[in-house]
Structure 1
Amino acid sequence: MQPVLVPEPENLNIQEMEKLVSSWFNDRPLPQSYIFPPETRPGNHTIPRCNSIPVVDLSKASGHDRTTIVQQILTASREFGFFQVVNHGVSENLVNDTMNVFKEFFELSAEDKAGVYSEDPKRPCRLYTSSPNYDRENVHLWRDNLRHPCHPLEECIKIWPQKPTRYRETVAAYSIEAKKLGLRILEFVSEGLGLSSGFFGDDLSESVILSVNHYPPCPDPSLTLGVPKHCDPNLLTILHQGDIYGLQVFKDGEWIGVEPMHNAFVVNIGLQLQIISNNMLKSAEHRAVTNSKVARTTAAFFISPVDDCIIEPVKSIINTDESPAYRAFSYKEFLLNYIPTTGNSEKSLEPFKLHA
């Protein structure tokens, strides 16, 4: 009897990595498994790129201008659920270096990426394609994703990719600055809501996850999506979308494109912030489209509560003639309900609503 050869884990990973869009996209038509249903695909019509997405200049957030900045952030969070920040204090050189490191990572050989690739959704640091439910999803997403925790940094950095060789040093510096920026924005939000300083600190913002999306050139961008319509489940998202367009936000029944701005971050209100504010702030549905000419790489920091953190509307901001819109729940309970809904905001919120 011939002995059964069991593949080495790395060799097995290299075989599985053939699923990565970046490993096979060249000179191939769009596979049927990536074609979205007509009602959800982007189509050929042009989506207007909106310059009315609010832009907040954080350099003005000192002295007498602070109140103005707080109100700009609060208004944008109510009306759009999205805004961009400029003059945010994060070094442009650091941003550029980090985005280049991410691009270098996706350009590594299969052998160099094999140790990071995993189809186990419980693995904290992993490279995968489409979504965590690849084998069960009806249609695949045109993206590869690198995802790992960033806090506490001294523990998390040990499981990060070791290549490119400057990955850990560069991304560590970047993650510190991204969290600092997120906490600064949350401080403006708490001030605007009339909450105490540091309200969003500790358990409410303790978890920080980095999600790097890589979208290779697509043979037919009208038929597929990089990320489908969804709301983020977390508290706040800090996104660097680079200089290549692809982000769209759903507002007033239509899609609008978020024009990339030089050295800006996109800030996205998550569902937990909508719940805590008792629907005063809005988590906006959004998606990522592809293009046929160039690859696009984006980096999002998801600032989230820890799993056992209890989430509920803040009583002090609810008017006397109003009632809480949601019951209290743990963030883990919310995630367990959110994941099967694939980001559908109404379905994910429904089990937590208090109906009069």
Structure 2
Amino acid sequence: MTDTAIPLAKQAPEPAGDPQQARAALGRLRAEVGKVVVGQDAVVSGMVIALLARGHVLLEGVPGVAKTLLVRTVAAALDLDTKRVQFTPDLMPGDVTGSLIFDARSAEFQFREGPVFTNLLLADEINRTPPKTQASLLEVMEERQVSVEGRARPLPDPFLVAATQNPIEYEGTYPLPEAQLDRFLLKLTVPLPTRDEELGVLRAHHQGFDPRRLRDAGVRAVATAADLAAARAAVQQVSVADGVLAYVVDLCRATRVSPSLELGASPRGATALLAAAKAWSWLTGRDYVTPDDVKALARPTLRHRVRLRAEAELEGVTADAVLDSVLATVPTPR
């Protein structure tokens, strides 16, 4: 099931503008999202990092922690188009990417675009649909295009897939294969709010806040696709010392020999960690990457790219705990 009452996707303009203004605009975006998405600053920052690095995000959290609201608010604050697909066991690949429809008037087949033709695609409960439909997103996420009958149809730019999944429900779910997990730049854990934050949520609802009416809640566009394009261009200019590059490689190689893991991070994981660290360093006001930037992004970038051994899972070991151990043992460059 898809949302259809959404404007057509916008193409981002050519990179232009002042990088300082773009950084300020993205800072305002984080603050604007924080108006309605309470206590999720780290997750909001992760969404911005993914947009800067042209990546995708997997959001994991129990129901009711505002995962869907987060994506809709980011789109509204960036003035981007968004569509939502509710993934279900009976969803077909064509329901996601689009399909050829026979037009009786012209006696020809016409391509009808699916919901992926947008800027921010919310793939809700992605692990509730069978592998065949999950696989329909592989080309979309990697190549940013849809191929039908030998013709490639490019997607709008910017384009981001934000997929959600529930970590506690296993009945009727289809775990994402490693090849698809590897397409996500970040896996962000959406935590439950603190007591004070939850009180704030209740006060807002008591005063009339409606998550389906973001404009009435005061959410406005504080950044544009032009700001994002300028920011992406600036991120490309962030410098990385050879020692930091080697640190990224050593961290990923260490996961491949960890006794708790049967699958470590691939070279794609190393490039993802580098891209995320560059975006974060630029967001924080620097034009160079530090080892601390790499450490800060290691868990969200690598936690879904490693696989625990069965005996480690039985002992209660988590991917984050293994990554913490790797970070503690791999020497940090000076």
TM-score of the superposition, structure 2-length normalised?
0.28
Flag the structure with higher helix content: 2
Structure number with higher relative contact order (C-alpha < 8 Å, ≥ 6 residues apart): 2
TM-score of the superposition, structure 1-length normalised?
0.27
